[in-house]
């Protein structure tokens, strides 16, 4: 039986934190700490390091945690990540992530290293099934020093499952069959995975398929939100290892979601006169080929990745012949290398450097327009070229503890153009960053970072054209067929400049192994951040006063720029955003407790008003459970508590706080006749609470009974 009492050595160590000299604290228990397991981040530095050691905030969610959520969408897993949320509403078709209050083009999304550049006002942009995801990483805070334009809020990176994740030593093949159901939208799921590798491990291959069918969503308010969707997700991967130094790999993933919902499916919207019911076809195709070359040399650890991704949403309006489509294709090539240099006993220096080229191409279609173009969706392209350099210097020689210094800088050049436009948008930017961490003892981390980020104007913002909306001319007497109508038109803006941010962050963390019992582990990491974001891009909508009242003293009503009836993206605001984030995790053989806390504040620097669409309530999330029967059974509960949300300019947008609890049970025998089976049972929102996350009046899903069953086996 494992020891349950607080170990005397641990008590001594905790007391030593307040009293002992630093060099004594460093030496004490260093061996135990070095042996403990930890989560690894690749995205935060492009060089694998423990997530705890990164001088900033990065969350790594592995497959085991994702499976415990038994999620219908990956959005549900983001409960485990502070400062990151989705603001779309109950329907999955509008999934749109934000990090530290910044969303849209201010968040980069990667799938197996391939950029996902599709951004739409209401079509969502997160097209991946949770069954495909092996690891989810979220880097919070500006990351332009490594990833260039768009990382003002941060980076979301998913890595899909590979054969090596499933095959144990000595196994040649692997098979998994899975099914599931949830009551809140009558969703049924079925899926299969197969993997194989050669006896000498020189090649492996994986195939996966998941199908979901779901209907209308039962809300906590008692209402039912109309929805109807079918999702098919597939994945194929192959890896070749012709030598110990070379690995070649290729993959193709497809996400296909066919749904029937309003043209704008976000929030609590339902179909009506101003929001047509459409048959929506959302799709994502992502393919990549890569090379890793890692010979027996500290100077070379090279990755070369070429990729292609195509994201699109087609909407067929029910009852009419209108078809509207938006599609974005991305071609990219990235090369990076790591060179490691020893600089003394216990000290090290790693350089990470490389370059990137990618091109986004967008096409829009609307069969209701004379030329087939779609308003607000120009046929356009943007090209980016970037180069980056980062150093990771760790010093221990002659120091009371360990200091890590991570400076980095990236240069980007970009150029955007659109069909039919006489101007282009082009510029270049430097994005520096500096992170510093200090460990006076192996268990204690103090860190801080400073960074600058930028986001280039998107082609939708720079070259917006076509009809934005149609309004009646109320100043004129109605004719025999009713009032006359005029149109508000999008117009481009060649004067747009990139959004830019400057951010500071400081924090601390602790990381203990064998704290209470042998084999347990506690980590805690918290920080405060402050960001100044300049030249925020927003839509300036102008409607002539003459459209509402006839007067010789005001311009008359009409269509387009001649009458001032336009919508144009402009640099309209500077923002000040600050917040606190914390993550913690305790795990032992029989008990675990993990959770996070986040809060955010933000104002318009010019007006002092709250930043609409940026702020959210303070949120505390806890996930705790027991491991029984040597880990074969886990029973747990998740609790989310949010404060009242009153940082609003319009009192009608204030929301009450909420408390929501989930229960779940996992049965996964490791031995015996049921080995290979896994049963997940759970109830989300067990109190059937009526609560609002997105905005006032948008109720979230009510009580949801969930079940999943899978069988897997390696041969």
CATH number at residue 628: 2.40.170.20
Using the predicted structure, report yes or no on whether residue 10 has a pLDDT greater than 60: no
pLDDT digits over 489-501, tens only? Answer: 999 999 999 999 9
Angular region, 676: left φ>0, alpha ψ -120 to 50, beta rest: left
Owner of token pair 């549900």:
76
**Model confidence at 138: pLDDT above 50:** yes
pLDDT: which is higher, 26 or 523: 523
Q: Is 280 among the domain residues?
A: yes
List, for residues 38-47, the tens digit of each pLDDT value: 799 999 999 9
State how far the Cα of 375 lies from the Cα of 468, in Å rounded to an integer. Answer: 6
- The number of folded domains in the chain is 1
**Within a domain: 3:** no
Could you tell me which residue, 344 or 514, shows the higher pLDDT?
Answer: 514
pLDDT in tens, 147-167: 999 999 999 999 999 999 999
pTM reported for the whole predicted model: 0.92
Please report where in the chains the tokens 């009974």 appear, as a residue.
705
Compare 385 and 169 and report the one with higher pLDDT. 385
Q: What value does the mean pLDDT take over residues 678-699?
A: 95
pLDDT per position as a tens digit, 596-648: 999 999 999 989 999 888 899 999 999 999 999 988 999 999 999 999 999 99
User: Does residue 32 sit within a domain?
Assistant: yes
pLDDT of residue 34: 35
In a domain, 1, yes or no: no
Residue 588's pLDDT band, with cuts at 50, 70 and 90, is very high
> Sign (positive/negative) of CA torsion 159, 84, 152, 423?
positive
Hey, what's the torsion of the CAs at 369, 375, 378, 384, to 10 degrees?
-160
109-118, 121-130, 204-213, range with the lowest pLDDT: 121-130
d(CA 529, CA 695): 25
Q: What is the pLDDT of residue 286?
A: 98
Indicate if the pLDDT at residue 16 is higher than 60: no
Mean pLDDT, the chain, as a whole number? 91
Of residues 266 and 220, more confidence is placed in: 220
- Taking residues 657-680, report their average pLDDT: 96
pLDDT on residue 160:
97
Spatial CA neighbour of 580 closest among 595, 597, 594: 597
Check pLDDT > 50 for residue 17: no
Q: What is the pLDDT of residues 384-414, one digit of tens each?
A: 999 999 999 999 887 899 999 999 999 999 9
Q: Are 134 and 344 in contact (CB under 8 A)?
A: no
User: What burial class does residue 175 get, using C-beta atoms within 10 Å of its C-beta: 0-12 exposed, 13-18 middle, 19+ buried?
Assistant: middle
Give pLDDT, residue 9: 39
Distances in Å between the Cα of 330 and the Cα atoms of 7, 115, 281, 306, 313 are 55, 7, 19, 11, 15
Per-residue pLDDT reduced to its tens digit, 447-497: 999 999 999 999 999 999 888 888 888 887 777 767 888 999 999 999 999
Boundaries of domain holding 77: 8-714
- 18-32 pLDDT tens trace: 333 333 333 333 333
Confidence of residue 2 (pLDDT cuts 50, 70, 90): very low
What is the band of 5 on the pLDDT scale with cuts at 50, 70, 90?
very low
If pLDDT is split at 50, 70 and 90, which confidence band does 546 have? confident
Is residue 483 included in any domain, yes or no? yes
- How many Cβ atoms sit within 10 Å of the Cβ of residue 370? 6
- Stretch 340-362: mean pLDDT, rounded? 93
Cβ contact 293:300 at 8 Å: yes
Q: What's the Rg (C-alpha) of the chain?
A: 27
Tell me the percentage of the chain whose pLDDT exceeds 70.
94
DSSP state for residue 343 in the 8-state scheme: -
Query: What pLDDT is recorded for position 480?
Result: 72
Q: Which residues pair with 658 in a beta bridge?
A: 642
Q: Please tell me the distance from the alpha carbon of residue 541 to that of residue 568, in angstroms, as a whole number.
A: 7
Percentage of residues of the chain with pLDDT beyond 90: 78
Is residue 2 a part of any domain in this protein? Answer: no
Concatenating the DSSP letter of every residue in 163-178 gives: HHHHPPTT--EEEEEE
């Amino acid at each position: 039986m494992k020891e349950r009492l607080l170990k005397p050595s641990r008590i001594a160590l905790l007391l030593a934190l307040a009293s002992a000299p630093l060099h004594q604290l460093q030496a004490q228990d260093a061996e135990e700490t070095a042996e403990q397991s930890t989560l690894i981040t690749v995205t935060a530095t492009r060089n694998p390091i423990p997530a705890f050691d990164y001088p900033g905030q990065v969350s790594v969610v592995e497959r085991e945690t994702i499976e415990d959520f038994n999620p219908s969408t990956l959005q549900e897993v983001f409960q485990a990540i502070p400062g990151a949320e989705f603001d779309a509403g109950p329907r999955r078709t509008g999934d749109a992530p934000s990090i530290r209050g910044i969303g849209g083009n201010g968040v980069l999304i990667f799938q197996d290293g391939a950029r996902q550049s599709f951004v739409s006002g209401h079509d969502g942009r997160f097209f991946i099934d949770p069954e495909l995801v092996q690891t989810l990483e979220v880097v919070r805070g500006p990351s332009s020093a490594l990833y260039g334009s768009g990382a003002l809020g941060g980076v979301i990176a998913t890595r899909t499952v590979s054969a090596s994740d499933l095959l144990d030593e000595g196994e040649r093949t692997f098979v998994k069959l899975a099914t599931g159901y949830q009551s809140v939208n009558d969703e049924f799921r079925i899926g299969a995975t197969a993997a194989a590798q050669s006896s000498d491990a020189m090649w492996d291959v994986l195939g996966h398929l998941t199908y979901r069918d779901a209907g209308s969503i039962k809300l906590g308010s008692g209402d039912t939100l109309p929805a109807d969707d079918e999702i098919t997700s597939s994945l194929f991967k192959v890896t070749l290892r012709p030598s110990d130094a070379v690995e070649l790999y290729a993959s193709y993933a497809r996400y296909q979601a066919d749904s029937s919902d309003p043209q704008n499916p976000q929030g609590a919207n339902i179909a009506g006169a101003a929001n047509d019911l459409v048959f929506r076809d959302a799709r994502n195709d992502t393919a990549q080929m890569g090379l890793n070359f890692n010979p027996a040399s500290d100077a070379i650890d090279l990755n070369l990745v070429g990729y292609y991704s195509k994201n699109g949403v087609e909407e067929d309006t029910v009852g009419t012949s209108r078809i509207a489509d938006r599609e974005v294709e991305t071609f990219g090539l990235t090369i990076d290398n790591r060179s490691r240099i020893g600089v003394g006993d216990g000290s090290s220096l790693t350089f990470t450097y490389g370059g990137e080229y990618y091109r986004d191409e967008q096409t829009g279609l609307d069969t209701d327009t004379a030329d087939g173009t779609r308003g607000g969706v120009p046929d356009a392209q943007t090209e980016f070229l970037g180069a980056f350099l980062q150093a990771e210097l760790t010093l221990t020689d002659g120091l009371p503890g360990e200091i890590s210094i991570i400076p980095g800088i990236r240069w980007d050049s970009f150029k955007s153009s659109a069909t039919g436009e006489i101007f282009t948008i082009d510029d270049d930017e430097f994005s520096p960053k500096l992170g510093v961490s200090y460990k006076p003892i192996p268990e204690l981390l103090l860190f801080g970072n400073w960074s600058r980020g930028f986001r280039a104007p998107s082609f939708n913002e720079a070259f917006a054209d076509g009809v934005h909306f149609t309004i009646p001319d109320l100043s004129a007497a109605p004719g025999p067929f009713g009032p006359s109508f005029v149109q508000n038109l999008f117009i481009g803006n060649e004067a747009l400049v990139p959004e830019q941010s400057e951010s500071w962050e400081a924090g601390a963390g602790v990381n203990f192994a064998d704290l209470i019992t042998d084999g347990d582990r506690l980590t805690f990491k918290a920080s405060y951040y402050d960001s100044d974001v300049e030249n925020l891009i927003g839509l300036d909508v102008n409607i002539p006063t003459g459209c509402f009242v006839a007067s010789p003293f005001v311009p008359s009503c009409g269509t387009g720029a001649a009458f001032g009836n336009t919508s144009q993206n402009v640099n309209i605001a500077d923002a000040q955003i600050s917040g606190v984030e914390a993550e913690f995790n305790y795990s032992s053989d029989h008990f675990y407790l993990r959770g996070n806390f986040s809060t955010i504040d933000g104002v318009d620097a010019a007006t002092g008003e709250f930043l609409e669409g940026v702020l959210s309530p303070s949120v505390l999330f806890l996930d705790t459970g027991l491991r029984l029967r040597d880990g074969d059974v886990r029973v747990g509960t998740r609790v989310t508590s949010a404060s009242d949300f009153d940082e609003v300019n319009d009192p009608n947008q204030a929301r009450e706080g909420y408390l929501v609890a989930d229960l779940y049970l996992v049965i996964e025998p490791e031995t015996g006749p049921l080995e290979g089976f896994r049963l997940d049972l759970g109830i989300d929102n067990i109190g059937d609470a009526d609560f609002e996350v997105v905005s006032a009046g948008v109720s979230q899903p009510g009580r949801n009974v969930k079940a999943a069953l899978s069988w897997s086996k390696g041969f």
